[in-house]
Amino acid sequence: MTDQLSQVFAALADPTRRDMVARLADGDATVGRLAEPYDVSVQAVSKHLKVLEDAGLVSRGRKAQTRPVHLEAEVLDLMTAWIERYRRRAEERFARLDAVLAEMDAPEQQETPQKKKDAS
């Protein structure tokens, strides 16, 4: 069984599904409305939505005779937390690298005035 984070990343690997998620961030939409900008059948859009639904990114409700698709934004928080942890680690490594480079550069700056004095 695949964990939810892997399912979410796999679902968002497809550009059409990423676009659907972006559009759903603006508000709920029906399958027909989601299908409008794509040159694919409503059935193909439904298959994309099934992948998003299995990953927990969207849910389908019932409103009168329509079944609006709703973005489950809290699942994006799961991804954000995972990405943020590794972003912080990378920033820490860059900060250490900056410190090492600054230390390496500092002796050169100190030697430069002395070398000028010795050359005189």
Domain boundaries, given as residue ranges, for the chain: 4-72, 74-120
**Is the pLDDT at 45 greater than 80, yes or no?**
yes
What whole-number distance in Å separates Cα of residue 1 and Cα of residue 3? 7
Give, in order, the Cα–Cα distances in Å from 92 to each of 74, 82, 88, 103, 120.
27, 16, 6, 17, 44
Residue 114 pLDDT > 60: no
pLDDT at 72: 95
Question: Can you give the pLDDT at residue 67?
Answer: 84
Whether the per-residue pLDDT at 70 is higher than 90: the answer is: yes
Q: Which two tokens stand for residue 66?
A: 């329509």
Mean pLDDT of the chain: 87
CATH 3.40.50.1370 fits 4-72, yes or no: no
Please give the pLDDT value at position 110. Answer: 63
Q: Supply the pLDDT for residue 30.
A: 92
pLDDT > 70? residue 49: yes
Helix (H, G, I), strand (E, B) or coil at 71: strand
Q: Please, which residues bridge with residue 70 across strands? A: 59
